[in-house]
């Protein structure tokens, strides 16, 4: 059970974040000065090591706090208690911890193991793994968990079972720490699946490869935007059982391999990237409304506005962020590019490209390779996970980095500019080689004082 302090803190933060949602800001969208304390959890997706070898499962979560970005305050070895819990519950060890997200209150973390399909829920305060699930075999008997994202109505986790080509749901009560893998909710996106328009979910001309990649959500309406490996997208009502398609997009409207849905005010940004051997490069950004979705609509409605479409070179749009000013109004949309190690900055109001932040400019790394991105509650800093020398996900042509670690960016002008100010190295040394491959990253507020930001 959670102690009372935790309960209090979680509830308080939930209320604050709920207020923040009313004003239409994202989780990262708090404001103002240094009274706000937080933690960063960054995941090394290489296996745990035993001194002489990688053991074939596990991995590490490195936990930093805002009093010291240089040194982690904790390291969770996923090859220990977490691996034992998963083995006990599912008969298999968890492999390749990939994406990590906190719930709205920041009281719990959800970690998806992409290779084995495990999803582990941690209590953040004491770093304890509470439960371990495994996704259901789907397409060709395969299962994965590419990303498991808590819904913004605070009641579910949506699991992108990538190679299984299924979207799955965990029902949660964060206060009671009750978690149910709801098999009745599973939506298979292959085979006989059809859309409300009667079209095949998966087909070569519409959506050729329905491996779900990332499922970011809205609180109201209760929709998740599920990007697909081969292009196209489904907007799904995540409260329906089974999960129900509310809108369908084809590959010519929403490109392949998107991961980085972020919402603010009345918009949801969705991107499309490269990163796979069959789709080397991609750099597209779309801005969609948060309302107007209905199963009675024709395909590709409501239409996305194209913010960026760069097919000129070696580019890979991946992850995303929205910056806000002190009045909590969105200022800029950031689109990181894993191939070029830059962040393209677009005005929220005009949708115009206004700046390019080059992570190589401060000469801290020759090939930073940013993967996940979070922005501090005060907008003073942004953080990126920087990939390793031996990347374990995405195609190496974009995912190989030269400086595995936590990149700290100092943000200026409400996000119009920024510079990579430091890199905290993350290591996982086997036989003298650093095998660390930082990937998942999220931030949780740990102080009660951030409410100042919302008043
Ligand atoms: C580390 O070195 C040992 C002894 O040379 C070798 O057996 C082992 O395969 C190496 N491990 C890795 C991960 O390269
Ligand atoms: C480390 O793990 C490797 C691979 O599982 C194993 O062969 C080796 O015996 C282990 N070494 C120790 C010291 O436990
Ligand atoms: C923050 O991290 C530092 C080490 O990096 C540690 O000494 C300190 O205790 C941590 N603070 C909290 C509140 O966890
Ligand atoms: C799934 O459906 C069955 C049969 O209707 C029901 O007994 C069960 O409680 C449902 N599971 C959940 C998690 O709702
Ligand atoms: C679709 O296929 C699945 C599994 O192949 C099956 O369980 C289900 O009943 C089928 N649904 C329809 C509507 O035919
Ligand atoms: C993106 O740009 C390419 C090349 O300029 C063009 O062929 C394609 O139609 C554009 N896509 C969209 C959706 O505008
Ligand atoms: C980075 O290196 C380049 C080339 O040596 C140099 O021109 C530039 O001033 C350096 N930038 C910084 C911030 O040190």
- Delimit the domains of the chain by residue range: 2-445
| Residue whose C-alpha is closest to residue 227's, from 153, 302, 170, 284 | 284
Facing residues of 287 across strands?
269, 305
- The protein residue with its alpha carbon nearest to ligand 5, atom 11, reads 192
Q: Is 131 helix (H, G, I), strand (E, B) or coil?
A: strand
Q: How high is the pLDDT of residue 450?
A: 65
Distance 363 CA to ligand 7 centre (A): 6
In this prediction, residue 394 carries a pLDDT of 83
Q: What is the pLDDT of residue 279?
A: 80
pLDDT confidence of residue 251: 97
Q: Mean pLDDT for each consecutive 10-residue tract of the chain (455 residues)?
A: 33 41 37 71 97 96 96 98 98 98 97 98 98 98 98 98 98 98 98 98 98 98 98 98 98 96 96 85 96 97 97 92 93 97 98 98 98 94 97 88 98 97 98 96 87 37
pTM of the model: 0.91
CB of 52 closer than 6 angstroms to any ligand 2 atom? yes
- Ligand 6 pocket, mutate which of 311, 312, 313, 351 (most atoms under 8 A from CB): 311
Q: What is the distance between the alpha carbons of residues 55 and 82, in angstroms, rounded to a whole number? A: 14
Q: Which atom of ligand 7 is nearest to the CA of 363?
A: 1
In this structure, the residue with its CA closest to atom 13 of ligand 1 is 53
Q: Under DSSP, is residue 5 helix (H, G, I), strand (E, B) or coil? A: helix
**Fold for the domain defined by 2-445:** Methylamine Dehydrogenase; Chain H (2.130.10)
In terms of phi and psi (left: phi > 0; alpha: psi -120 to 50; beta: otherwise), the region of 354 is: alpha
DSSP state of 304: P
Is residue 303 helix, strand or coil?
A: coil
User: Of all atoms in ligand 4, which is nearest to the CA of residue 180?
Assistant: 13
**Closest C-alpha residue for ligand 6 atom 14:** 309
Please give the distance, rounded to the nearest whole angstrom, from the Cα atom of residue 361 to the centre of ligand 7. 7
Model pLDDT, residue 199:
98
């Amino acid at each position: 059970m959670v102690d009372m302090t935790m309960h209090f803190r979680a509830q308080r933060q939930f209320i604050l974040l709920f207020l923040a949602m009313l004003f239409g800001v994202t989780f990262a969208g708090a404001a103002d000065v240094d009274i706000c304390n937080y933690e960063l959890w960054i995941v090394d997706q290489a296996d745990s090591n035993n001194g002489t070898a990688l053991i074939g499962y596990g991995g590490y979560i490195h936990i930093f706090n805002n009093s010291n970005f240089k040194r982690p305050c904790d390291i969770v070895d996923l090859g220990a208690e977490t691996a034992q819990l998963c083995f006990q519950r599912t008969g298999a060890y968890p492999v390749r911890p990939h994406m990590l997200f906190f719930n709205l209150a920041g009281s719990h973390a959800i970690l998806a193991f992409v290779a084995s399909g495990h999803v582990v829920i941690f209590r953040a305060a004491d770093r304890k793994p509470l439960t371990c699930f495994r996704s259901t075999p789907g397409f060709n008997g395969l299962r994965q968990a590419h990303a498991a994202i808590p819904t913004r109505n605070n009641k579910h986790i949506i699991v992108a079972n990538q190679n299984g080509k299924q979207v799955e749901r965990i029902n949660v009560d964060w206060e009671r720490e009750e978690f149910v893998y709801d098999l009745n909710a599973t939506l298979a996106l292959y085979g006989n699946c059809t859309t409300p328009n009667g079209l095949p979910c998966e087909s070569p001309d519409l959506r050729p490869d329905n491996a779900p990649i990332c499922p970011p959500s809205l609180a109201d309406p209760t929709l998740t935007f599920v990007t697909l490996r081969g292009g196209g997208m489904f907007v799904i009502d995540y409260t329906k059982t089974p999960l129900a398609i509310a809108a369908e997009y084809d590959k010519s409207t929403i490109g392949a391999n998107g991961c980085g849905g972020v919402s603010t005010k009345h918009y949801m940004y969705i991107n499309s990237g490269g990163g796979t051997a069959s789709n080397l490069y991609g750099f597209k950004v779309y801005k969609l409304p948060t309302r107007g979705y209905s199963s009675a609509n024709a395909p590709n409605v409501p239409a996305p506005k194209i913010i960026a479409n760069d097919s000129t070179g070696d580019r890979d749009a991946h992850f995303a962020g929205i910056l806000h000013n002190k009045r909590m109004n969105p200022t800029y949309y950031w689109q990181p590019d894993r191939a070029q190690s830059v962040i393209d900055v677009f005005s929220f109001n005009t949708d115009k490209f206004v700046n390019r932040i080059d992570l190589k400019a401060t000469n801290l790394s020759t090939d930073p390779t940013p993967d996940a991105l979070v922005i501090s509650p005060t907008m003073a800093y942004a953080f990126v996970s920087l990939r390793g020398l031996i990347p374990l996900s995405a195609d190496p042509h974009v995912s190989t980095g030269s400086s595995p670690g936590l990149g700290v960016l100092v943000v200026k002008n409400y996000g119009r500019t920024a510079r990579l100010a430091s890199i905290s190295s993350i290591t996982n040394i086997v036989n003298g080689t650093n095998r660390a491959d930082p990937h998942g990253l999220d931030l949780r507020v740990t102080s009660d004082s951030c409410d100042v930001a919302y008043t």
